[in-house]
Amino acid sequence: MKPASFEYHAPSSLDEAVALLAELGEDAKAIAGGQSLAPMLILRLAVFGHLVDLRRVPGLRGIERRDGSVRIGAGTTQAAIGRSAEIARSVPLLARATPLIGHFQIRSRGTIGGSIAHADAAAEYPAVALALDARLEAFSPRGRRTIPAAGFFTGLWSTGLAEDELLTGVTFPARGPRSGFAVEEFARRRGDFALAGAAVAVELDEDARVRRCGIGLFGLGPAVQRAPAAEAAATGAEAAGIDAAEVGRTAVSRLASIPSDLHGSAAYRTRVGAAMVARAWQKAVEEAKGD
């Protein structure tokens, strides 16, 4: 199949890009690497009259360590993130999720901003952003604003971005002491979207109690989700006394709408999701203990 016809725009500045989006409205769509959007256009799952290509817009790429955080430009490719020593050191959960995204050809063009703004419910980066309480930077003709990850993902392929806004950067907290991270997913084949997965971040205090934890779930609903009941039950408890399997069961027990399709029933995804959370939790805690 071929995509429906569209008009192509290649702005050379951020101001020009958002001005186009504001002028063209809902008939326009921004495209970066195109690894998520292009297949949807080809299969005509989505149709837009205008595509606004962001590849010539300066200032959208790069990885920068700031006080206690790491900022990544939205146009930074997944391959660049996977190669970054700074990301491996300061945001290890992101580094560990990167090899799970598709195949190397996809990661060489796909961008972090594209993945997060596309908001696929089975994608790894959105779940990592949730688990780490990332801050998402948006730009429009009205100026800049910051959106917490917890309020960004609103539904299937939908976010808190307005029609004339672009995601320009993502800021993650840098790794602190006594912290552990893990991402686990189950897919039919390597490179496929996950049937169920979990990204887990755990921070322990000096008494080996859970000071803070984040559990991002993907492939288990219409959007990526946190597991607030499991996080609340674990926070403040001694890490050694927490049953990883119970964390997994609690994490999926409150999910409202687990998908059921030809790849797996809702009951099957529930069991797999609980197992993925349990595995990731156990690995993250072990790493935090040894930090």
The mean per-residue pLDDT over the stretch 78-100 comes to 98
The mean per-residue pLDDT over the stretch 266-290 comes to 97
Determine which of 38-47, 87-96, 106-115, 165-174 has the lowest per-residue pLDDT on average. Answer: 38-47
- Half-sphere exposure of residue 134, counting CA atoms within 13 Å on the CB side? 31
Q: Does domain 7-49 have CATH number 3.30.43.10?
A: yes
CATH class, domain 179-290, is alpha beta
Give residue 193's pLDDT: 86
Judged against a pLDDT cut of 80, whether residue 12 lies above it is answered with yes
Q: Which fold has domain 63-173?
A: 3.30.465
How large is the greatest C-alpha to C-alpha distance in the chain, in angstroms? Answer: 61
Give the start-to-end residue ranges of the domains of the chain.
7-49, 63-173, 179-290
- Any idea how long the chain is? 291
142 three-class SS: coil
pLDDT band at 184 (very low <50, low <70, confident <90, very high): very high
pLDDT band at 180 (very low <50, low <70, confident <90, very high): very high
